[in-house]
Amino acid sequence: MGILWLIATLLLVHSCSPGVCMHHGIVGGKVSIPHSRAYMVYIRDSETKTACGGVLVREDFVMTAAHCNNNHLMVYLGVSDTDHLPQGVAVHPIPHPKFKNKPGHDIMLLKLKTPATLNKTVKTIALPETENAEISKNCLVMGWGWQNYDKESPSRVLKEVNVTLIDSKNCGSADLICTEESNGPSLGDSGGPLVCGDFAQGIVSYYINESHNIYRSMYTHIAHYLPWIHHAMKTPTQQPNETWKGKLDKLI
């Protein structure tokens, strides 16, 4: 029962049928000032129309949840209203190798086939610098997901809500950070960021219905994945070139 329930709620993704595409926003909180969260990225599968959130972490990389992986993902930068999407950018998905379609290691990088040009409405967000740096408890989570946990309540525009981190010892795993509130991310908010201070510290993964009106939202703890992130984001130009590698091989 517990496991089934977790799996059911892990997939905070949101789909819509062709033509009738319902979009929704965070439970509680308010509509974000248009383009004030310029790092926020709208992600959608061009075939299934499943949608997720994500953040631009470098001109050529978006970070999101691994359970948002799909065959025809497109990312949309600088979006406020999903009824007015700019041209999408195709991506190459790099899910965490240990992600197994259940809670845990729910993190994925998307390499943009055309790097973004940063401007007033398209910006990057900083990642934590070290694994154990202290995290501000006052955080903001945002997305285009449902505005009600058990009822569809559409909003085409980006929404955000303040949440407070609880002691990470209570989150069940050091790979997670969590909040416990009556408000927070719901279906469709997956992959979106938990921003604490000026850093993206968490990725919306799943929630647990604790009791009436109390939901524990679970976020992938980004700082715990820094080595993997840095490795995955190494572009070929940053690696020693073939000539050099070839020479080294011969020396050995």
Ligand X SMILES: *[C@@H]1O[C@H](CO)[C@@H](O)[C@H](O)[C@H]1NC(C)=O
Strands of the sheet with 30-31, listed across from one edge: 30-31, 159-164, 138-143, 193-196, 199-211, 214-221, 176-181
Interacting span for ligand X (CB under 6 A) from 94-102, 105-113, 174-182, 209-217: 209-217
Q: Look up residue 193 and give its two tokens.
A: 């960021």
Q: Which is nearer to ligand X, 120 or 234 (CB)?
A: 120
Interacting span for ligand X (CB under 6 A) from 57-65, 176-184, 190-198, 236-244: 236-244
26 binds ligand X (CB under 6 A): no
Active-site residue, selected from the candidate residues 14, 67, 96, 105: 67
Active-site residue, selected from the candidate residues 106, 175, 186, 189: 106
What is the three-class DSSP state of 165?
Answer: strand
- On the 0-12 / 13-18 / 19+ scale of CB atoms within 10 A, 78 is buried
Pairing, β 61-64 against β 40-45: unpaired
Cα angle 8, 168, 95 (rounded to 5 degrees) comes to 50
30 binds ligand X (CB under 6 A): yes
Pattern 120-139, ligand X, x by CB under 6 A: xxx-----------------
Smallest distance, ligand X to C-beta of residue 247, A: 9
Q: Which residues pair with 209 in a beta bridge?
A: 215
Alpha-carbon distance of 74 to 228, in angstroms, equals 23
34 binds ligand X (CB under 6 A): no
One residue of 17, 71, 117, 132 binding ligand X per CB under 6 A:
117
Question: Known catalytic residue: 80?
Answer: no
Q: Look up residue 172 and give its two tokens.
A: 């069940």
240 binds ligand X (CB under 6 A): yes
Residues lying near ligand X in the complex (CB under 6 A) are found at 29-30, 77-78, 86, 117, 119-122, 149-150, 160-162, 209, 211-212, 240-241, 243-244
Catalytic residues: 67, 106, 190
